[in-house]
Amino acid sequence: MTRPAGNPLDLRAWLETARSLGELKDVKGADAKLELGAISELNVKIDAAPALLFDEIKGYPKGFRILTCSTASPARLSSILRLPVERLHHELVQKLRGRPKGWQAEAPKYDPLPVETGPVFENIQSGKDVDINIFPSPLWHEKDGGPYIGTGCCVVTKDFDSDWVNVGTYRVQAFDKNHVGLDMIPGKHGAIQYDKHMKAGKPFPVAIVIGCDPLGYLISGIEVPFGMCEYNYIGAILGEPVQVVQGELTGLPIPAGAEIVLEGYCHPGDVKTEGPFGEFHGYYPGKEGKAPVVTIERVYYRNDPIIVGSPPAKPPNDYSYSKAVMRSSLLFDALLAAGVPDVHSVWAHEIGGARMFNVVAIRQRYAGHARQAGHILNQCGVGAYMSRYSVVVDEDIDPSNLQEVMWAVATRTDPETDIDIIKRGMGSKNDPMFVAYRYNAPFNSKAIIDACRPYDHLHEFPEVAEASKELQAKVREKWKDLF
Ligand SMILES: Cc1cc2nc3c(=O)[nH]c(=O)nc-3n(C[C@H](O)[C@H](O)[C@H](O)COP(=O)(O)O)c2cc1C
């Protein structure tokens, strides 16, 4: 039996796809200090925003490039997910339905495939020659604590007492030529592995992939189950394993086609002030904090390397669209897995960073069905972190349409009975409201808004005053020019 060839997660192959879709724009001469971030931020707010490939960045050699906005359209996102290219958002969501569950089930079959070498080893810096300042690390936002070399990155780490390799997206602040800071929120898989090493007084090996096929950070940036390696999950999407080379220093697996990789160790007790940083919910949360320092001992990079940047900011931002699509799909699967019947659709709104304002539409089957769906949406594995509002609506409401959702909230709820509050839920120190809580740890409170018609009064609830679907279709057909 022949083994499949594998996939090195080469970004350049995907860039050609994006170009052929007409969705890649070249930008020359921008300054990595603030300008590049602001251009990307403004770009993503326009309709049909392209991905941006920055070259000739002020003060850096031609060819040292930065890509942003890679996942921000249905066509680009569907191509990254290896689905038939969909230019319409609703079509993409339809195509994605049930896929994450399938990918997760298939993942164990796709262990990464070790290969001898790959383009990532075209250039190697070692020991005292390490200098990450040759790469353009952007200062993305005006009030950031410094330049961030890692945003759309994949941080590869290994468990202390098992073979579990984790790949997570955690921001990476560039401190100096051979030190970076790693912001892993407590509870994230990388943070759990780090804590185990620190408790044992052992250095924590890290390989930071600064740029590869955007499928890399798309998946390392979502909640893949505890104990599962993201490379396996990516392999299931590709239908072939990820080709990896071994880091010379740590032996950690690195995509063979990666653009830049920083390899080194976090040493016990070595932490440093990190941040602040403009976040996905649209704020600089609080002051700077402390983060583990990675001392970099090897740098591998391709000729003319490309950093994949994905700067967060007030939504819509660089990755809020892809997060909304991916998390909505994961939440849908989680509700089904928890046994909630008749779930029509789910939407994790970009305005809440795809975490803080989520809506599920159900067809009510029994008393308590709506609350069950709302509580699980708010508390399931993929949904609990930083969730704030879960809204449950009937199936006549499109959960991705805020106008309709808020109409249901305004007209189908009695606040006294239809809002449940969960206290001391899973929050975050990065929550902009954290400053106002009286907690000593990152708890938050959560509201479940049951905006379904009251189940025990369905038979007498007033009819919606809107032209019926049939009448609308007839009128649209006859009065085409008007609509
Ligand atoms: C562009 C981007 C940046 C992110 N930055 C961070 C970060 O700095 N710290 C963090 O803990 N999570 C961050 N996340 C969210 C995590 O990647 C996400 O929760 C992921 O599930 C973490 O991987 P893990 O489940 O293996 O821990 C970021 C996600 C994206 C897409």
Predicted TM-score (pTM) of this structure: 0.94
Query: Quick one: tokens of 169?
Result: 């997206």
173 lines ligand 1 (CB under 6 A): no
Pocket mutation for ligand 1, best pick of 69, 169, 223 (most atoms within 8 Å of C-beta): 169
Closest-CA residue, ligand 1 atom 31, reads 221
Residues 107 and 256 reside in one and the same domain: yes
CB distance 355 to ligand 1 below 6 Å: no
- C-alpha to C-alpha distance for 194 and 182, rounded to whole angstroms: 11
Q: Which two tokens stand for residue 460?
A: 């007498």
Tokens representing 238 are 């590709």
Tell me, in angstroms, the distance from the centre of ligand 1 to residue 399's CA. 25
Sorted by sequence, the CB contacts under 8 Å of residue 326 that are 6+ apart come out as 100, 218, 222, 354
157 CA → ligand 1 middle, Å = 14
Q: Report the chain's mean pLDDT, rounded to a whole number.
A: 96
Q: What is the pLDDT of residues 435-465, one digit of tens each?
A: 888 788 999 999 999 999 999 999 999 999 9
Q: Does residue 3 form part of some domain?
A: no
Asked whether residue 471 is assigned to any structural domain, the reply reads: no
Of 308, 333, 360, at which residue does a domain stop?
308
What is the CA(129)–ligand 1 centre distance, in A?
30
What spacing in Å lies between the alpha carbon of 148 and ligand 1's midpoint? 14
pLDDT-derived band at 5, boundaries 50, 70, 90: confident
Q: Tokens 């031609």 label which residue?
A: 62
Based on the fold, state whether residues 382 and 299 are members of the same structural domain. no
The average pLDDT across 349-367 equals 98
337 near 86, Cβ under 8 Å? no
Distance 171 CA to ligand 1 centre (A): 8
pLDDT higher than 60, residue 1: no
Amino acid 93: pLDDT: 86
Please tell me whether residues 20 and 150 are part of one structural domain: yes
Residue nearest to atom 22 of ligand 1 (CA): 168
Residue 1 lies in a domain: no
Tell me whether residue 465 is in a domain: no
| Region 238-255 average pLDDT | 98
Q: Is pLDDT above 80 for 227?
A: yes
- Does one domain contain both 420 and 289? no
Is 166's C-beta closer than 6 angstroms to any atom of ligand 1? Answer: yes
115-140 pLDDT tens trace: 999 999 999 999 999 999 999 999 99
Out of 44, 104, 158, 170, give the residue to mutate to test ligand 1, the one with the largest number of ligand atoms within 8 Å of its CB: 170
Nearest ligand 1 atom, CA 171: 8
Instruction: List the CATH number of the domain containing 243.
Output: 2.30.110.10
Amino acid identity, residue 49?
Answer: A
276 CB less than 6 Å from ligand 1? no
* Domain match, 221 and 301 both: yes
pLDDT for 343 equals 97
**Residue pair 155/180 in contact by the 8 Å Cβ criterion:** no
Decide the pairing of beta strands 154-158 and 260-266: unpaired
In the reported structure, the alpha carbon of residue 169 is separated from the centroid of ligand 1 by a whole-number distance in angstroms of 4
Q: Name the token pair of 191.
A: 């943070």
Beta-carbon contacts of 123 under 8 Å, excluding residues fewer than 6 positions away, are: 299, 300, 301, 302, 303
Please list, in sequence order, all residues whose beta carbon lies within 8 angstroms of the beta carbon of residue 420, skipping any fewer than 6 positions away.
371, 374, 375, 447, 448, 450
Co-location of 403 and 373 in the same domain: yes
**Which token pair is 468?**
């019926």
Q: Identify whether 472 is part of a domain.
A: no
Does any domain span residue 466?
A: no
Q: What is the pLDDT of residues 387-427, one digit of tens each?
A: 999 999 999 999 999 999 999 999 999 999 999 999 999 99
Binding site membership of 229 for ligand 1 (Cβ less than 6 Å): no
Of 327, 321, 356, whose CA–CA distance to 444 is shortest?
Answer: 356
Check residue 187 and report its DSSP letter: T
Residues 88 and 169 placed together within one structural domain of the fold: yes
Question: Please, are residues 414 and 408 in contact by the beta-carbon 8 Å criterion?
Answer: no
Nearest to 209, CA basis, from 175, 238, 240, 166: 166
Same domain assignment for residues 246 and 122? yes
Q: Is residue 267 part of a domain?
A: yes
Write down which residue in 308, 343, 360 finishes a domain.
308
Residue 169, CA distances (Å) to 106, 367, 431, 473 in order: 22, 41, 18, 46
CA of 44 to the centre of ligand 1 (A): 20
Q: Are residues 291 and 328 in the same domain?
A: no
Residue 236 lies in a domain: yes
User: Ligand 1 pocket, 171 CB below 6 A?
Assistant: yes
Does 430 score more than 90 pLDDT?
no
CATH of the domain at 375: 3.40.1670.10
**pLDDT bracket for residue 89 (50, 70, 90):** confident
E strands, 169-221, are 172-176, 179-182, 204-209
pLDDT value at 2 more than 60 = no
pLDDT tens by residue, 169-188: 999 999 999 999 999 998 89
Number of domain units in the chain: 2
Name the residue range of residue 352's domain.
320-460
**Residue having the nearest C-alpha atom to atom 30 of ligand 1:** 221
Ligand 1 atom at shortest distance from the alpha carbon of 277: 8
Residue 375's Cα: distance from chain center in Å? Answer: 23
Which residue has the CA at smallest separation from atom 23 of ligand 1?
Answer: 168
Which of 283, 308, 333 is the endpoint of a domain?
308
Average of pLDDT values for 230-257? 98
Tell whether 180 and 124 lie within a shared domain.
yes
User: What is the number of the ligand 1 atom nearest to the C-alpha of 152?
Assistant: 1
Atom of ligand 1 nearest to the CA of 153: 1
CB of 185 sitting under 6 A from ligand 1 = yes
Kindly report the protein residue whose alpha carbon is nearest to atom 18 of ligand 1. Answer: 221
Do residue 159 and residue 219 come from a single domain?
A: yes
pLDDT tens column, 290-326: 999 999 999 999 999 999 999 999 999 999 999 999 9
> pLDDT confidence of 429, banded at 50, 70, 90?
confident
331 and 253 both lie in a single domain: no
